[in-house]
Homo-oligomer: A and B are copies of this chain.
Amino acid sequence: MGKIKVSKAPTIRRMPTYLHKLMELSAEGAPFVSTTVLANYMNLEPIVVRKDLEITGITGQPGVGYKTPELIAAIRNFLGWNNPFQACLVGAGSLGSAILGYEGFEEYGLHISMAFDADPAKIGKTIHGLVVQDIADMPRMINPASPPIAVICVPYAAAQQVADQLIKCGVKAIWNFANASLQVPDGVVVQREVIAGGFALLSVKIAQLDSIRVKF
């Protein structure tokens, strides 16, 4: 089936962190950067960084490193972050509001230009400069010819239904913050964020810590 599978996912996940650090180094005026510097910052081995950067197609200078601006451009290009993505947000609760208020997304070329909610108490309110629209107006406000990325921040129980509506409006890409696994047809891609997954990892790390402490 047409399920989109991304290989090199771990590498791709590290890219934004490289990019962010590189921007800082660039602002500080560093013309070159080595994998050692990036690796130290991220608590990785330099070899990991070197391998990661390979997939952007960029090539460094042995003995010197990579040209900082060139590397930044290569990562941006690889991620498709040179041209901005238009996006709409659905679910203007506390998480949705936080996402609307986070200016950092512009760095990734993500521009959220619409916000929707089903709650009459929220519709019409302005959050971080955006007026919350009625979710029922989505079909009129979303142009299927150039559909935005949809950022879903609604409660668990509403997520699938909201996704269905969005897809009916022509949306092809969903960034899902709801605690639900969405079913979508071929030709639609979803990225789900499971923050509890991170907490599960932390919990296991804590258990390892404790078991070490007991030993000593």
Contact = CB atoms under 8 A, between A and B. Distances in A.
A60 to B, nearest CB: 21
Nearest to A213: B187
A17 B206 contact: no
A122 B128 CA distance: 18
A110 B196 CA distance: 10
Contacts of A2: 212
Given A16-B196, A108-B196, A200-B15, A206 B98 contact: no
Contacts of A9: 201
A49 to B, nearest CB: 12
Work out how many copies of this chain go into the complex. Answer: 2
Contact of A13 (B79, B110, B197): B197
Contacts of A101: 93-94
A165 interface: no
Q: Is the interface of A mostly helix, strand, loop or mixed?
A: helix
Interface in A1-28: 2-4, 6, 9, 12-17, 20-21
12 contacts: A12-B200, A13-B197, A20-B196, A79-B200, A79-B204, A80-B203, A93-B101, A94-B97, A97-B98, A108-B196, A173-B202, A187-B213
User: Which 10 residue pairs of A and B lie closest in terms of their CB atoms, listed nearest first?
Assistant: A16-B196, A13-B197, A191-B202, A189-B205, A98-B98, A94-B98, A94-B101, A95-B98, A79-B203, A193-B198
Given A14-B197, A16-B197, A85-B206, 7 more contacts: A12-B204, A13-B201, A16-B199, A17-B194, A21-B181, A43-B181, A191-B205
Interface of A: 2-4, 6, 9, 12-17, 20-21, 41-43, 79-81, 85, 93-95, 97-98, 101-102, 104-105, 108, 110, 149, 156, 172-173, 175, 179, 181, 183, 187, 189, 191-209, 212-213
